Amino acid sequence: MKAINVIKKVKNHFKKQGIDIQIYPPRADGSYKWTFQHGDNVGSFSANGHNGYSEGWEDADTTGFHVRHSTDHSDIQSDYFAGSFRKNISQVCESLLSTPPKFPVGTLVRGKQTKRAQRWGFAGKVGLVIPTIGRASNSNITVNWLGPEKHPNNGYQSFSARDMELATK
């Protein structure tokens, strides 16, 4: 992806959630990465073959998508490299600020009539989205189904959000 498009993508990701993010360009004193910070984490990327302030950087392909904590820095003498690399800018943005879930906690949902929902037995059932125990995911939700029969795990199980629809419209 071109550098100018990556910058737009980062700005759009944060703008959708009401955050105006500042992206700092590379400096002539040696830094070759674009950086942006949200909370305590820093995301960065660089333009392949360009130092970022020379002509033509807008059309350069981007590489080196990286996330680290703001106080964590690499140490070349101890062979310590802060943070971790990601495959693309979308993963960096999700690491810094994940998108809000499709169905927030407290939403009444119904299982769609899909093959997976029918196989798992929740097609047409109505349930309430409850807080997820452990690491939350935007693509999966935990549902407390209404009715007498419960799942063996106290009635709570994680389901794909794409197999759900709003019960009330």
Provide mean pLDDT across the span 49-77. Answer: 85
Radius of gyration (C-alpha) of the chain in whole angstroms: 21
Highest mean pLDDT among 3-7, 31-35, 46-50, 144-148: 3-7
Within this chain, do residues 28 and 53 fall inside the same structural domain, yes or no? yes
Provide mean pLDDT across the span 62-69. Answer: 92
Please state whether the predicted TM-score (pTM) of the whole model is above 0.95.
no
Provide mean pLDDT across the span 64-74. Answer: 90
Domain contains 69:
yes
Within this chain, do residues 59 and 114 fall inside the same structural domain, yes or no? no
Within this chain, do residues 128 and 82 fall inside the same structural domain, yes or no? no
144 DSSP β-pair partners? 128, 156
Within this chain, do residues 45 and 115 fall inside the same structural domain, yes or no? no
Distance of CA 114 to the CA centre of its chain: 26
Q: Lowest mean pLDDT: which of 28-37, 63-72, 83-92?
A: 28-37
pLDDT recorded at residue 68? 93
Total structural domains within the chain: 2
Q: How deeply is 1 buried, as exposed, middle or buried, from its count of CB atoms within 10 A (0-12, 13-18, 19+)?
A: middle
Domain contains 101:
no
Within this chain, do residues 8 and 90 fall inside the same structural domain, yes or no? yes
Asked if residue 133 has pLDDT above 80, the reply is no
Within this chain, do residues 51 and 13 fall inside the same structural domain, yes or no? yes
Side chain identity at residue 74, one-letter code: S
Domain that holds residue 72: 3-96
Instruction: Out of 96, 129, 151, pick the residue that ends a domain.
Output: 96
Domain contains 142:
yes
